[in-house]
Amino acid sequence: MSAWALVPPDYQELPSDFTAEIEAGLQLNTGNTESSSFNGRTKLVYDTEQFRQEGTFKLYYAADNEKTTAEKYDVQLQSSYKLDNDFSWLDDGYVFGRGDFTLDHFGSYTQISTVSVGYGFDAISNSDTKLSLEIGSGYRYNMPIETESEPNPMADKDIIVRTAAKFEQKLQEYTSLNADLTAEIGENNSTLTLDMNYKNTLFQDWAFKIGVNIKYTDVVPEGSEQTDTITTFNLLYTFQ
């Protein structure tokens, strides 16, 4: 009776609307080559019956024994309002406002700011597979890197159409695959970004994660590459 009083037989933990992911990876090279690199990512999600708030913060840094070779910061914020499901054509639909901000000291564009609004819906949603599709419009601001031919470049400002597909697939009990494909189409410039990762749970809330981010930019400053690729090997912790 005393044990029942402390823990009732039908007791269940209250569901949490807040979840978070924190991951990091570190690489050190010594000997003939002395270099170090670090990347980190934090994702915060507050999901209620009517709203979903998401924030993702990323950091990439690399240096050799002489200088810093890479330094990039990404911030992604999205607020979604879930539409009334009393109407069948609005089932699993939502409207959103989004902001993407990048500071990249060594990229073809040192500052990238994009704000957009639009509509999205869950095309597939079950225990193993999720697919969300989004479409909207927005405004993008790009500041090109300084070059010898353009020591004082002018910022590129553009009205864009943004489309996105977010895919999640549970492969086995402890493994999953995620892939986000985003296209931003503007009159002056267009980009296509693939952010894909494979996650394997090690124990409890800890997981090993392999990720790759590929971004193609149609128009870049002279001497810059159109495609940027970042590959990461991280340890990830999830809590709620």
Model pLDDT, residue 14: 46
72, 107 contact by CB (below 8 A): yes
| Angle ∠(125,195,46) on CA atoms, nearest 5 | 55
Q: DSSP class of residue 86?
A: T
pLDDT at res. 141: 97
pLDDT score, position 5 = 47
Whether 140 contacts 186, CB under 8 Å: yes
Among 83, 82, 65, 61, CA closest to 73: 61
Give me the domains of the chain, ranges plus CATH numbers. 18-239 (2.40.160.40)
Mean pLDDT (the chain) is: 88
Express each pLDDT in 107-136 by its tens digit. 899 999 999 999 999 999 998 999 999 999
For the stretch 173-211, pLDDT in tens is 899 999 999 999 999 999 999 999 999 999 889 999 999
Q: What is the pLDDT of residues 5-61, one digit of tens each?
A: 444 555 455 457 899 999 999 877 666 567 789 999 999 999 998 999 999 999 999
pLDDT band at 150 (very low <50, low <70, confident <90, very high): confident
At residue 173, the pLDDT reads: 87
Contacts of 201 (CB under 8 A, 6+ apart): 174, 175, 207
Which of the four pLDDT bands, split at 50, 70 and 90, describes residue 95?
Answer: very high
How far is it, in rounded angstroms, from Cα 58 to Cα 75? 7
In the numeric block, which tokens belong to residue 71? 């330094």
Q: Is the pLDDT at 88 greater than 50, yes or no?
A: no
Q: CA end-to-end span of the chain, whole Å?
A: 32
Confidence (pTM): 0.86
Does 82 or 66 have the greater pLDDT score? 82
Q: What is the pLDDT of residue 103?
A: 96
Please give the DSSP secondary-structure letter assigned to residue 106.
T
Name the band, by pLDDT with cuts 50, 70 and 90, for residue 64: confident
Average pLDDT over residues 140-162: 91
